[in-house]
Amino acid sequence: MRRLIAVLIENEAGALSRVVGLFAQRNYNIESLSVAPTEDPTLSRLTLCTSGDDSKIEQITKHLNRLIEVVRVVDLTDGEHVEREMMLLKVRAEGVMRAEVKRTCDIFRGQIVDVAENLYTVLLTGTSGKLDNFIRALPKTAIVEVVRSGVSGIGRNEKILGL
Amino acid sequence: MSEQTEHLSGGDMLIRALQDAGVEYIFGYPGGAALHIYDAIFRQQRVEHILVRHEQAATHMADGYARATGKPGVVLVTSGPGATNAVTGIATAYMDSIPMVVISGQVANEFIGTDAFQETDMVGVSRPVVKHSYLVKEASEIPRIVAEAFYIASTGRPGPVVIDVPKDTTDPAQLFPYEFPDSVTLRSYAPTTRGHGGQIRKAAQALLEARRPVIYTGGGLVQGNAGSTLTSIADMLGYPVTSTLMGLGAYPGSKPHFLGMLGMHGTYEANMAMHHADLIFAVGARFDDRVTNDPAQFSPDAKIVHIDIDPASISKIVRADIPIVGPVDSVLPELKRIVNAEMARDPSRPDRVALAEWWERIDRWRAEHGLDHDQRHRNGAAGSLLPQQVVQAVYRATGGDAFVSSDVGQHQMFAAQYYHFDQPRRWINSGGLGTMGFGLPAAMGVQFAHPDAVVACITGEGSFMMNMQELSTCMQYALPIKIINLNNKALGMVKQWQDMQYGGRHSHSTYRDALPDFVHLAESFGHVGYRVQDLDELDAVMADVFGDKHKGDLVFVDAHIDPDEHVYPMAIKGGAMKDMILDRAV
């Protein structure tokens, strides 16, 4: 089962390597990882997308908590949450495809953020599933380059992950 | 900052901080990147540095010291090979949750990442086997980092902490105000100090309602210094107790209610009791694969209570019905109080009739296939000693009161089976990582901690040769360790597996007469050597070795044992705990 885990961690050199190392060392799977400092520059926030049955996820959160630099861990998928991922794509846009890509982009509420003679660069945000669908909606041969940010997530309502 | 604040160099601050952390001994080996630190050591007297012969041995000495005292062991090594040599010992301490602080020299900050001479990324190399690690960026951080390292190493579930110290941060020309923090608080690290009251009450009820209980203790009980509380709870209830390899001694091994060690080479009665129990009361144990055999077939009828300081250990292998996260030295006294009160309120619990029946079954298992079974039938022929007999002779000669370290393999299992530890912190062995070469240096660490105690190292010639260079260190510091070498001229446990699972094909497990004369080897380092191969002389030799005659000597006893002896019982792979091979197939 897919899970989204949010981690507050000391913003220190080497802290991220401990998280990544833990996943490698214990044979856990990372589907995506996004990380950046928070409004408090001493803290970073990670959103980790992983998968596993309940007992595996329990072990993952326990082991994350065991890392000395980890301040808080929460499994966002335990409750209601909002998640988004950002994607930048370079898409071939020649001849009839130029209009077709633009139309598909509009349907998905994407933005064209750069234009070259034969290429569009498209920015799209949404759930990971929406990004997957956009890729599927384009002809395979049209896609030249893809970069995805990994998922970021936050709890809904009053739920706050802080110090 | 007061006007009296001293100004010290990074190297001096490091050593001063170790003094302020209460360190008695540093086990170490110098080298380029650590030379400023070594100069700081030279200019003080409060911390004694022990010069080892190999960095791995330094970590095992610090480890032995920590196991025997409960205080963190301290290691100092240089960068590069000094640091990497220490990694095996760090991993050994990590697997057994031993508090340790390892300081490694590092190339100067400006050279980090340039593949400089003797540079290695120690924080990276050691990361999977430390509780935490630091790379010093600024000299001024040193006192804080040292204080945090000791706090982290010794609280919660203990473990090793590495401090990697670039040479520029110890520069004697740069001075900084020195102040050692009185206390440490970390917003991201707050070990549990109490168990959940409701859970403890549930556990007490489960104990009182059990009809076929087994108390299963592990290394956490030793580390948490709660052996005596557990012993009083077990005795009050009259319940059977078994222990992991790591927990031996926390509940006295010579008590009749002790079933012996459980697991792969555990006793028949301990493993049978575990399998047939209706309550398993696990304290500071982690349901290791060497204990449970196939977890899916583990104790099918048992309710599981699991007390551990580390939440990640609970329900990792076997799901706990009543988990309690907390330190045993606070959980057990609370539990004892509740059990006491409940027993006074309702004397009908626990069910004495059910318990008597349970003991009858256990006693029957013990009578049928208890540990002495094998020996009753194979009283070693003249000229051939059984390893068990040697361990028993050591037990008799030391009155069961020695500190005993071991290495890894058959001799380790024989020592665990036949030396009955009545006190915690007396049995010093590498249980989790299974590190050959651990025994001698660990015994040395114990001897430094307890200069007047009897310290024996039960080893095998394979393990011993992995760190035998430390005989030289023993000579330098006059350590009177008694080394009992169960010499079967082979890697006994490997050979046993090859006998049992590989059709007797002894692939690279025998030395083909390429062993040294151990008596002469010991003598060449100024020590005393004995060779023993007859049962008739065994007790006399041990009386000499452990008697006044050799009180101040390191004595090496080369005991030539039956090379074909196997360790039994042995768990049948993939089975339940009840599935054991009890003796060699005839």
pLDDT digits (tens, 9 = 90+) for B243-269: 999 999 999 999 999 999 999 999 999
pLDDT, chain A, mean:
95
**Length, in residues, of chain A:** 163
Please enumerate in sequence order all residues whose Cβ is within 8 A of that of A132, keeping only pairs 6 or more positions apart, or say none. none
Strand spans (E) along B153-309: 160-166, 175-177, 213-217, 241-243, 258-261, 279-283, 303-308
For A108-143, the pLDDT digits (tens) are 999 999 999 999 999 999 999 999 999 999 999 999
Q: What is the pLDDT of residues A32-64, one digit of tens each?
A: 999 999 999 999 999 999 999 999 999 999 999
Amino acid, res. B203: A
The pLDDT score that the predictor gives to residue B374 is: 57
Contact in structure between B192 and B309 (CB atoms under 8 Å): yes
3-state helix, strand, coil in chain A (%, to 5): 30, 40, 25
Predicted pLDDT at B53:
98
Mutate to test the interface with A, among B112, B133, B188 (most CBs of A within 10 A): B188
Measure B187 CA to nearest chain A CA, in Å. Answer: 7
Are B78 and B107 a contacting pair, CB within 8 Å?
no
pTM of the predicted protein model: 0.95
Q: Which of B493, B542, B570, B577 is catalytic?
A: B493
The span from the CA of B178 to the CA of B140, in Å, is: 8
Amino acid at B581: I
Chain B partners within 8 Å of A66 (Cβ): 310, 312
Catalytic residue chosen out of the listed positions B55, B119, B269, B334: B55
Interface probe for B, chosen from A63, A66, A67, A161 (most Cβ of B below 10 Å), is A66
A 23-62 residues inside an 8 A Cβ radius of B: 25, 55, 58-59, 62
Contact A86, A148 (CB under 8 A): yes
Binned at pLDDT 50, 70 and 90, residue B234 comes out as very high
Q: Is the pLDDT of residue B495 over 60?
A: yes
Q: Where are the alpha helices (DSSP H) in B127-186?
A: 142-154
Tokens of B240: 């059977």
Would you call B496 a catalytic residue per the annotation?
no
Cβ neighbours for B443, distance < 8 A, ≥ 6 positions apart = B64, B403, B405, B428, B455, B456, B457, B481, B483
Cβ neighbors of A47 (< 8 A, separation 6 or more) are A4, A5, A6, A7, A32, A33, A34, A35, A76, A83, A150, A151, A152, A153
Q: Is the CB of residue B123 less than 8 Å away from at least one CB of chain A?
A: yes
Contact A14 B188 (CB under 8 A): no
Helices B328-345 and B227-237: crossing angle, nearest 10°?
A: 20
Who's near B484: CB < 8 A, 6+ residues apart? B390, B391, B394, B456, B457, B458, B459, B557, B559
Q: What is the pLDDT of residue A37?
A: 97
- What pLDDT is stored for residue B585 in this prediction? 67
Whether residue B376 has pLDDT greater than 50: no
Closest CA in chain A for residue B185: A68
Per-residue pLDDT, B219: 97
* Alpha carbons B413 and B407: distance in angstroms, whole number: 10
Q: Is B372 helix (H, G, I), strand (E, B) or coil?
A: coil
Any B CB within 8 A of A68 CB: yes
The pair of structure tokens assigned to B419 is 């030396």
Strand order across the A143-155 sheet: A111-115, A119-126, A81-92, A143-155
pLDDT bracket for residue A158 (50, 70, 90): confident
